[in-house]
């Protein structure tokens, strides 16, 4: 008799848990649709509730396969709040997503900090991550960008050089890449940024060397050298060549956009967007 009562109680609890999780699953699906339809306030509210209530809703076990994670909810909330220009709320949401799932939202977080010119915050975040792991390559990009965009080119040089030192080990662990006379996209980007940092430190010799390394690579990554080549052309008093080099160049990240805008202003090009 006692066994039957316990089994009945467990069945009721399981049903209640299943029903509760089903309601929240429907809530996430509704949030996605609201976001798609442009109803950002409604979508943000739904994601906020889901992420906040997640521990209670999923305890002690998740009964659904592929149930949306709390980290994904925080990440989606951060993206929506960034769309709404609620920057502080977006940064907090990205921090929550990274805490729940390391790396999730990191790029959005760093790009938003750069767009807000909060270089000190990004530098502090990158330094903490590098203390935890010397192979956190994203942290080197973040630290280098924070120095470069804060007019600290010599510090940027040291950061990008250190990143290049650690890159082979990181590639062996994460990408399986083995150098064979060609540059990986990561190395090409780091060397191009290092070239510009050298040039801004008034070291044109090393700037040319690094940019030429990218240009000489047999891999089809010629677009990586366009920005540093344009900077060098301008430095050498060849504005027409610099302008021609920039044609069709698409900056891949905020630091590249910022460098492009700086160069456009120096070249007196019209319609230079303000970062």
CA 71 to chain CA centroid, nearest Å: 16
Non-local CB neighbours of 257 within 8 Å, separated by 6+ positions: 251, 273, 275
Q: What is the pLDDT of residue 10?
A: 55
Q: Is the pLDDT of residue 272 over 80?
A: no
Is 226:245 a contact under the CB 8 Å cutoff? yes
Is 257:275 a contact under the CB 8 Å cutoff? yes
How many domains is the chain partitioned into structurally? Answer: 2
Residues 139 and 264 occupy one common structural domain? yes
Please check whether residue 142 lies inside any domain of the structure. Answer: yes
Residues 197 and 254 occupy one common structural domain? yes
Please check whether residue 52 lies inside any domain of the structure. Answer: yes
Residues 3 and 88 occupy one common structural domain? yes
Please check whether residue 98 lies inside any domain of the structure. Answer: yes
Please check whether residue 127 lies inside any domain of the structure. Answer: no
Residues 157 and 87 occupy one common structural domain? no
Handedness of CA 128, 160, 145, 222 (dihedral sign): negative
Please choose, from the candidates 200, 198, 120, the residue with its C-alpha nearest in 3D space to the C-alpha of residue 160: 198
The percent of residues in the chain predicted with pLDDT above 70, rounded, is 89
Reported as type and span, the H/E element at residue 254 is helix 254-266
Please check whether residue 222 lies inside any domain of the structure. Answer: yes
Please check whether residue 36 lies inside any domain of the structure. Answer: yes
Residues 153 and 80 occupy one common structural domain? no
Q: What is the DSSP letter of 253?
A: S
Q: What is the pLDDT of residue 8?
A: 45
Q: Which residue has the tokens 């240009």?
A: 215
Residues 10 and 83 occupy one common structural domain? yes
Please check whether residue 214 lies inside any domain of the structure. Answer: yes
Reported as type and span, the H/E element at residue 77 is helix 70-83
Residues 143 and 264 occupy one common structural domain? yes
Mean pLDDT of 207-212: 97
The CATH number linked to 163 is: 1.25.40.10
Residues 43 and 159 occupy one common structural domain? no
Non-local CB neighbours of 203 within 8 Å, separated by 6+ positions: 157
Q: What is the pLDDT of residue 2?
A: 64
Residues 77 and 145 occupy one common structural domain? no
Mean pLDDT of 227-256: 95
Please check whether residue 124 lies inside any domain of the structure. Answer: no
Residues 139 and 190 occupy one common structural domain? yes
* Among 85, 104, 123, residue at a domain's last position: 104
Q: Which two tokens stand for residue 134?
A: 């010397």
Q: What is the pLDDT of residue 82?
A: 97
Residues 247 and 167 occupy one common structural domain? yes
- DSSP secondary structure string for all residues of 208-233: HHHHHHHHT-SSS-GGGGHHHHHHHH
Residues 97 and 190 occupy one common structural domain? no
Number of H helices, E strands in the chain: 13, 0
Is 76:216 a contact under the CB 8 Å cutoff? no
Domain that includes residue 87, residue range: 1-104
pLDDT in tens, 2-61: 655 455 445 555 667 889 899 999 999 999 999 999 999 999 999 999 999 999 999 988
């Amino acid at each position: 008799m006692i066994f039957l009562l316990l089994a009945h109680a467990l069945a009721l609890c399981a049903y209640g848990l299943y029903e509760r999780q089903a309601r929240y699953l429907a809530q996430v699906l509704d949030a996605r649709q609201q976001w798609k339809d442009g109803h950002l306030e409604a979508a943000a509210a739904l994601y906020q509730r889901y992420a906040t209530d997640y521990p209670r809703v999923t305890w002690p076990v998740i009964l659904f396969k592929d149930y949306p994670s709390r980290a994904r909810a925080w990440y989606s909330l951060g993206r929506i709040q960034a769309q709404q220009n609620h920057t502080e709320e977006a940064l907090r949401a990205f921090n929550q997503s990274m805490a729940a799932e390391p790396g999730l939202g990191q790029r959005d977080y760093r790009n938003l900090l750069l767009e807000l010119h909060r270089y000190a915050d990004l530098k502090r975040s990158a330094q903490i991550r590098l203390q935890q792991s010397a192979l956190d390559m994203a942290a080197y990009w973040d630290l280098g960008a924070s120095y470069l965009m804060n007019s600290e080119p010599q510090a940027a040089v040291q950061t990008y050089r250190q990143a290049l030192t650690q890159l082979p080990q990181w590639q062996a662990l994460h990408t399986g890449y083995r150098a064979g006379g060609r540059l990986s996209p990561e190395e090409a980007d780091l060397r191009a940024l290092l070239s510009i940092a050298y040039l801004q430190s008034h070291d044109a010799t090393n700037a040319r060397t690094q940019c030429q390394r990218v240009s000489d690579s047999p891999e089809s990554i010629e677009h990586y050298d366009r920005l540093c080549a344009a900077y060098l052309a301008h430095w050498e008093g060849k504005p027409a060549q610099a302008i021609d080099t920039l044609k069709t160049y698409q900056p891949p990240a905020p630091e590249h956009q910022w460098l492009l805008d700086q160069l456009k202003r120096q070249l007196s090009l019209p319609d230079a967007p303000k970062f």
